[in-house]
Structure 1
């Protein structure tokens, strides 16, 4: 029986990453084609390139590289439509400014806790600020990569989250919008839900946990 839900933040409890990044690209007049080529190389290496030694994304997500240092490096790789690098200072804040809270997902988590299900936020951070006002009500535990020195899809960060909620992998489900993270969780016996949108994820949770979670 499922007794715990581990869940990502960006793109799951918020509006999608492409939507947020699209707003930033337009606002900062970023060359979108060039940006996607740069990020494809970084992310491909981060999630499919072994242990990622020397990878900027790994270092940032584990808290080994400061946000300011990452901003300077990333800005130097990018171009605006004017053919010059964007302003480095505040780059990450501007990138994530387009994230918006998805209330339906938070409501589902509150319902889960009301039914006695343990909930744990499990998020890879990019030195970003999280809106934590109601987290004590929503989560039993919080695991943010830059604060614990581990990142998804490393097995040890999943084990850390399981230890915090006091449950084995076989009794938990993990919700994320990145397939590589889902695969890593499944290797530890954790059921996975690849998040596409709130409606389909909530429906999957209802089915797996046999609990009513939708709200009028």
Structure 2
């Protein structure tokens, strides 16, 4: 191997894994939401119509809506719940209770142990690890994070949200490595593109098996 090749390999090495939480370290978001919709008897079409419009605005820059405020901490959780509940009805036409709505929405989240195991393996092999999550007022299972992350970045706690490039740069600074040495995992493709725009590698998480295969291809022990 030539000296130039050795240098290129060193520069391109991945030495940190930065991961999303919901939908990556947990069971899929849509599964949890489906459980909640059924349990609360929410009109599914009405919910999807409201959320489709809000999410589109949140990611394409076409307007500011409650998701922005919830994720960057400028909107109280209770107010977001009130605003969302006001847009919803049950299948019987009754109002949906606002209090505790987010907790009910994510109650069916389950930890994905193979992803936790992969992070532990990567960290044991010398990689740095970090969490980068857009919070929906989530009650995070922080007891599962003991000795797992070198840094934890929660959007509402830092006043920034994905896909803002500032939050990616903040996470990278906390792990102490250049973006080129970091890989970011997220189940939202738009966030992956934003990470790549600041120089990070990105893995769009669609399944545990494909994500682990991509991490191994980057040279990580997972």
TM-score normalized with structure 2 length:
0.93
**Cα offset for 1:156?**
0.3
- Cα 1:106–1:210, aligned 2, differ >3 Å: closer, same or farther? closer
Counterpart position of 1:175: 185
Determine the C-alpha separation between the residues in 2 that align with 1:16 and 1:157: 23
1-structure distance, mates of 2:108, 2:146: 24
Matching residue within 140, 143, 147 for 1:133: 143
1:20 to 12, 32, 53: 32
Q: Which runs of 5+ in 1 are unaligned?
A: none
Once the two structures are superposed, residues 77-124 of structure 1 have per-residue CA deviations (whole angstroms, 9 ceiling, x without a partner) of 011111122000000000000110000000000000001101010000
Q: Following the alignment from structure 2 to structure 1, what is the Cα–Cα distance between the partners of residues 35 and 108?
A: 6
The whole-number CA distance in structure 2 between the counterparts of 1:84 and 1:180 is 35
Paired residues, what number? 210
Alignment of 1:38-187 (within 5 A): 38-50=50-62, 52=63, 54-187=64-197
Asked whether the equivalents of residues 122 and 220 of structure 2 are also in contact (C-alpha less than 8 Å), the reply is: no
Counterpart for residue 213 of structure 2: 203
Partner of 1:4: 16
Give the drift of 1:136. Answer: 2.8
RMSD over equivalenced CA pairs, Å: 0.9
Q: Is the 8 A contact 2:160 2:166 kept in 1?
A: yes
- In the TM superposition, residue 210 of structure 1 has moved relative to its aligned partner by 4.5
**Once the two structures are superposed, what CA deviation does each residue of 1:161-185 show, in whole Å capped at 9, x if it has no partner?**
0000001110010000001100100
Give CA deviations for 1:36-71 in whole Å, capped at 9, x if unaligned: 000000000000125x4x311000000100110000
Larger-gyration structure (1/2):
2
* Structure 2 unaligned spans of 5+: 1-12
Aligned residue among 191, 195, 204 for 2:201:
191
Q: Which residue of 2 aligns with 1:29?
A: 41
Moved more, 80-89 or 9-18: 80-89
Residue number in structure 1 paired with 2:7: none
